[in-house]
Amino acid sequence: MTLPGSEPRPRSFILTVEPSGPDSFGLLLEERSNGSASPSLRVGADALGVQRVLDSILVALRESRIARTAVSAQRRKPLSLAESAGVRLALVLLATAPVSKRERIAAIQAGVEHMSTEEAYYWYAKCSGPEAARGRRALRLLLAED
């Protein structure tokens, strides 16, 4: 039972730009649950990874009402994403990390974008829970069978 005024805060997704050159950067996405100071999930993408999933990053920014120009190599302050946008971006980053074929990456991005909100949260729980490796592999096979 929770007392009035003591409801747990929802999870938040923080996107941090990590410069890797004058015009290139990587990203670090962290989930913080219930206002916790330590992240419960951290997933990153180097400069090449950012280019591979740029469409999903732009969708997450748009859904969070953040200008696309806010993400650049000069960015120093972290950005706070909307929860559902953070969940979808995390799914894309987790599922595409070991994939090298552009067609499969595009299929995974499209599949995550077309998921219902409930389905995205289901897969996020599978891909970040105790059996995360199996969940990620299952998601890749579902969205981009090779």
Query: How many C-beta atoms lie closer than 10 Å to residue 86's C-beta?
Result: 24
Percent of the chain with pLDDT over 90: 49
What is the per-residue pLDDT across 24-67, written as a single tens digit (0 to 9) for each?
A: 888 989 888 765 555 678 787 888 888 889 999 999 999 999 99
pLDDT band at 129 (very low <50, low <70, confident <90, very high): confident
Helix locations, the chain, DSSP H: 47-52, 54-63, 83-96, 102-113, 117-128, 132-143
Question: Which pLDDT belongs to residue 1?
Answer: 44
Distances (CA, A) of 107 to 66, 80, 101: 25, 26, 10
Query: How many C-beta atoms lie closer than 10 Å to residue 107's C-beta?
Result: 18
DSSP 70: G
Q: How far is the C-alpha of 30 from the C-alpha of 86, rounded, in Å?
A: 9
Give the start-to-end residue ranges of the domains of the chain. 12-143
pTM of the model: 0.85
Question: Which pLDDT belongs to residue 35?
Answer: 59
